[in-house]
């Protein structure tokens, strides 16, 4: 896999032109909450106005009632200041209350869109992208975006407005000192600009490294049994320690960068405040400034400390959000390779005969120069069972994955009853094709939910019939029967049990075309014979394409196709190919002959009168 930083594929979307470009593209998620954001901003500005009014009231108190020893006026102005403080506190409460709900709603909307988009992307995309990287994007990156869109962006606007209003008031109180405070914005801007540039790079590096650590943890959890069996615990700990150490170093570097910048951002307003106090005291002594005006000036200037101090946090949060937006857009900008055509055809199960035809089919994986399949031609007649035989790596599983369009043909076409599969609606096609893989995937849900994944409307009798056909009645004996929740990947079951449940799931949808990728490889000889005997009844009325590794499974097939180097080199019955094709004979002779290949009775065949359950 060609990888860029953080183990992410290098060909991962458009080149970022500006650090904030992808963050700006997420504005559509703010639009539904524009009204709420406007009210939040108004509440914030009103709270700020109340806070700004307090120093002005203090000026009136000092220069008025205090100077004249007017207790009545003093109490009135003190009461006004108290009311302004209460109003400010109430407005802040209202703002935070509304802010929390809108921010969570925005995060949920983005997460839903990203997850839905991941479902539309092809299997090739998921083959190339580490799952931990995708997981970190849809969890931690979205949390970073939520914090910025709900808090960082709001305070950025509020603090800029506060800074401008306060500076204008300071200039009105004392033009020279006010301009001095305004001039302090120049070094603040230069510090912030330099910080933002370096912090953006560090943020991207850290978020990619977090994805790498998530990938490592996920792989270790899924392969825990294998790792324990090979005693690789110490090596995995060392590998994890190296990854977390790199993440730690990046985090420490970010922290130091933020600490240095925060110190500089604190230094500038503090130096300015000291200068103002000295110059202001001199102005009061010279009669050019009243004590009340100096109190108001210093109080207003102190109100700028929080906007300046928070500037580092806002920039840091904004840069983290910008890199998170980059990472989110890398996924959203990836166009699904397999989509419905503009005018799609939907086929009803009752109208499908099931003639499957491969016409000059070529397929190569993305990023690979050599094709896996080369000009392949094959026809499976309605109701026929075709077995595909070939050496390891010849492309058998890839061939089968093209039927439900898990991958798309690079050249040529595949037709179902004369319809190019690319002309069919995906949901229609996948409702007609039942699939069972050699490595079945079961989800962390109940047995019933796993079985009815393709047919949620299946009733209990249909599920029982599918389980009986797949010899998977063991599911009824689980602690809570079919309501038993399976562990992740179904690892609480044996390999054979997982395969049988996957086979039951495939036949339950009553497919017009059944695609089986060696689904019986984990079964013992006795169970395999029982499943094959029951499956033979289903295959009578279903077009089936089977990948075969065991010679005994060939008994299910009407014809056999030999796949060599990406091409079908021979098609015929088992007996014909065995007599006339040395390569075919060599492949079968290399397999352990556990059961007879022909459909001769064995001790595992059902006894007369004990016909297996069949889906009606």
Give DSSP secondary structure letters for 125-190: HHHHS-HHHHHHIIIIIHHHHHHIIIIIHHHHHHHHHHHHHHHHHHHHH-HHHHHHHHHTHHHHHH
Q: Are residues 419 and 275 in the same domain?
A: no
**Residue 324 shares a structural domain with residue 469:** no
Whether residue 318 is found in the same domain as residue 358:
no
448 in a structural domain: yes
Tell me the pTM: 0.71
Kindly state whether residues 139 and 176 are assigned to the same domain.
yes
Per-residue pLDDT, 225: 64
Helix, strand, or coil (residue 446): strand
Residue 535 and residue 469 in contact, taking contact as beta carbons nearer than 8 Å: yes
In a domain, 347, yes or no: no
In a domain, 249, yes or no: yes
No. of H helices and E strands in the chain? 22, 10
Which pLDDT value is given to residue 373? Answer: 94
Give the pairing type, strands 385-390 and 543-547.
parallel
The last residue of one of the domains, among 283, 299, 332, is 332
Residues 412 and 316 reside in one and the same domain: no
Query: Is 70 exceeded by the pLDDT of residue 197?
Result: yes
Q: Mind listing the pLDDT tens digit for each residue in 562-603? A: 999 899 999 999 889 989 999 988 887 654 444 444 443 333
Contact between 615 and 538 under an 8 Å Cβ cutoff? The reply is yes
List C-alpha distances in Å: 59 to 130, 166, 217, 282.
62, 15, 61, 18
- Contact of 450 with 457, CB cutoff 8 Å: no
Looking at the structure, do residues 319 and 384 belong to the same domain, yes or no? no
DSSP class of residue 418? T
Interacting residues of 78 by C-beta distance below 8 A, sequence separation 6+: 61
**At 378, is the pLDDT very low, low, confident or very high (cuts 50, 70, 90)?**
very high
Determine, yes or no, domain membership for 547: yes
The whole domain housing 460 covers: 354-589
Handedness of CA 366, 372, 376, 380 (dihedral sign): negative
Quick check: 410 and 364 in contact, CB under 8 A? yes
Question: Which tens digit of pLDDT belongs to each residue from 427-457?
Answer: 999 989 988 887 778 888 899 999 998 888 9
- Tell me the CATH number at 51: 1.20.1560.10
pLDDT at 422 over 90: yes
| Domain endpoint, select from 301, 332, 363 | 332
Q: Can you give the three-state secondary structure of 371-382, one letter per residue?
A: CCEEEEEEEECC
Bridge partners for 388 per DSSP:
547, 561
CATH of the domain at 477: 3.40.50.300
Average pLDDT over residues 62-88: 65
Q: Do 449 and 575 share a domain, yes or no?
A: yes
| Mean pLDDT taken over the chain | 81
Share of the chain above pLDDT 90, in %: 17
* Position 415 confidence tier, pLDDT thresholds 50, 70, 90: very high
Structure token pair of residue 248: 């730690």
Q: Exposed/middle/buried for 405, CB within 10 Å: 0-12, 13-18, 19+?
A: buried
- Backbone φ and ψ of 136, nearest 5°: -65, -30
Q: How many domains does the chain have?
A: 2
Inter-residue contact 551 to 591 (CB < 8 Å): yes
Measured CA to CA, the distance from residue 133 to residue 124 in angstroms comes to 16
pLDDT at 10: 46
**Cβ proximity of 288 and 173 under 8 Å:** no
260 and 364 both lie in a single domain = no
* Strand ranges for 370-511 from DSSP E: 373-380, 385-390, 411-416, 419-420, 433-436
Asked whether residue 266 is assigned to any structural domain, the reply reads: yes
Other Cβ atoms within 10 Å of 423 Cβ, number: 16
In this predicted structure, the answer to whether residue 16 has a pLDDT above a threshold of 60 is no
Residue 36 has pLDDT above 90, yes or no: no
2 located within any domain: no
On the question of pLDDT at 294 being above 90, the answer is no
Helices 291-302 + 34-61 axis angle, to 10: 150
Any domain includes 343:
no
Residues 326 and 371 in one domain: no
The answer to whether residue 148 is domain-embedded is: yes
- Band (pLDDT 50/70/90 cuts) for residue 613 is very low
Sign of CA dihedral 602, 604, 610, 612: negative
pLDDT in tens, 472-519: 899 999 889 999 988 666 667 887 888 888 888 888 888 899 998 887
Residue 59 pLDDT > 50: yes
pLDDT at 169 over 90: no
Share of the chain above pLDDT 70, in %: 84
Is residue 601 left, alpha or beta, with left meaning phi > 0 and alpha meaning psi from -120 to 50? beta
Q: Judge whether residue 404 has pLDDT over 90.
A: yes
Flag whether pLDDT at 376 surpasses 90. yes
92 and 229 inside one domain: yes
Mean of pLDDT values over 118-137? 84
Residue 212's Cα: distance from chain center in Å?
14
> Pairing between strand 543-547 and 433-436?
unpaired
Q: Return the exposure string of 13-29: e unless at least 16 CB atoms fall within 10 Å of the residue's CB, then b.
A: beebeebbebbeebeeb
Residues 273 and 391 in one domain: no
Query: Based on the domain organization, do 186 and 327 belong to the same domain?
Result: yes
Give the pLDDT score at 598.
40
Q: What are phi and psi of 500, to 5 degrees?
A: -70, -40
Q: How many CA atoms lie within 13 A of 400 on its CB side?
A: 27
The runs of H, that is alpha helices, within 371-434 are 396-401, 426-432
């Amino acid at each position: 896999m060609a990888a860029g930083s953080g183990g992410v594929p290098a060909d991962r979307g458009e080149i970022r032109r500006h650090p904030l470009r992808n963050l700006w593209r997420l504005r559509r998620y703010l639009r539904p909450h524009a009204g709420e954001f406007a009210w939040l901003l108004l509440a914030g500005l009103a709270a700020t106005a109340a806070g700004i009014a307090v120093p002005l009231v203090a000026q009136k108190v000092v220069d008025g009632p205090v100077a004249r020893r007017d207790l009545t006026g003093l109490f009135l102005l003190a009461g006004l200041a108290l009311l302004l403080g209460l109003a400010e506190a109430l407005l802040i409460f209202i703002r935070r209350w509304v802010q929390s709900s809108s921010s969570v709603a925005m995060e949920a909307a983005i997460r839903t869109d990203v997850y839905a988009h991941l479902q539309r992307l092809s299997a090739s995309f998921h083959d190339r992208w580490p799952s931990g990287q995708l997981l970190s994007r849809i969890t931690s990156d979205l949390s970073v975006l939520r914090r910025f869109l709900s808090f960082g962006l709001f305070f950025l606007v509020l603090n800029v407005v506060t800074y401008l209003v306060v500076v204008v008031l300071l200039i009105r109180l004392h033009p020279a000192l006010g301009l001095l405070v305004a001039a302090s914005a120049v070094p603040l801007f230069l510090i912030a600009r330099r910080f933002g540039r370096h912090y953006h790079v560090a943020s991207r590096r850290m978020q990619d490294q977090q994805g790498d650590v998530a990938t490592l943890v996920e792989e270790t959890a899924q392969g825990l049994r294998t790792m324990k069996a090979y005693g690789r615990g110490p090596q995995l700990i060392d590998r994890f320690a190296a990854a977390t150490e790199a993440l730690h170093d990046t985090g420490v570097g970010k922290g130091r960068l933020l600490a240095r910048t925060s110190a500089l951002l604190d230094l500038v307003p503090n130096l300015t405040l000291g200068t103002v106090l000295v110059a202001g005291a001199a102005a009061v002594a010279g009669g050019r400034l009243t004590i009340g005006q100096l109190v108001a000036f210093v109080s207003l200037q102190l109100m700028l400390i929080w906007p300046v101090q928070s500037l580092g946090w806002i920039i840091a949060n904004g840069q983290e959000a910008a890199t998170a937006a980059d990472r989110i857009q890398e996924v959203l900008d990836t166009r699904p390779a397999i989509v419905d055509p503009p005018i799609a055809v939907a086929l009803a199960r009752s109208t499908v005969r099931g003639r499957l035809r491969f016409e000059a089919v070529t397929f190569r994986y993305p990023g690979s120069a050599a094709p896996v399949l080369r000009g392949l031609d094959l026809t499976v007649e309605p109701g026929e069972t075709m077995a595909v035989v070939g050496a390891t790596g010849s492309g058998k599983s890839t061939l089968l994955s093209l039927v439900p369009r898990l991958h798309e043909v690079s050249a040529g076409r595949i037709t179902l009853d004369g319809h190019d599969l690319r002309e069919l609606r995906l949901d229609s096609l996948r409702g007609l094709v039942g699939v069972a893989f050699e490595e079945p995937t079961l989800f962390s849900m109940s047995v019933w939910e796993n079985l009815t994944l393709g047919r949620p409307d299946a009733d209990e009798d249909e599920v029982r019939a599918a389980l009986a056909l797949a010899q998977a009645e063991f599911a009824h004996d689980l602690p809570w029967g079919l309501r038993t929740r399976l562990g992740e990947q179904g690892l609480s079951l044996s390999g054979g049990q997982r395969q049988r449940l996957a086979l039951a799931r495939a036949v339950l949808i009553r497919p017009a075309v059944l695609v089986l990728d060696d689904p019986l490889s984990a079964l013992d000889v006795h169970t395999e014979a029982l499943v094959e005997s029951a499956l033979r009844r289903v295959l009578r009325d279903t077009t089936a394409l089977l990948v075969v590794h065991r010679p005994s499974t060939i008994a299910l097939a009407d014809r056999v196709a030999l796949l060599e180097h990406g091409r079908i080199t021979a098609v015929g019955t088992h007996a014909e190919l065995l007599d006339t094709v040395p390569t075919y004979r060599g492949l079968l002779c290399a397999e352990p002959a556990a059961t007879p290949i022909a459909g001769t009775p064995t001790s595992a065949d059902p006894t007369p009168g004990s016909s297996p359950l069949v889906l009606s």
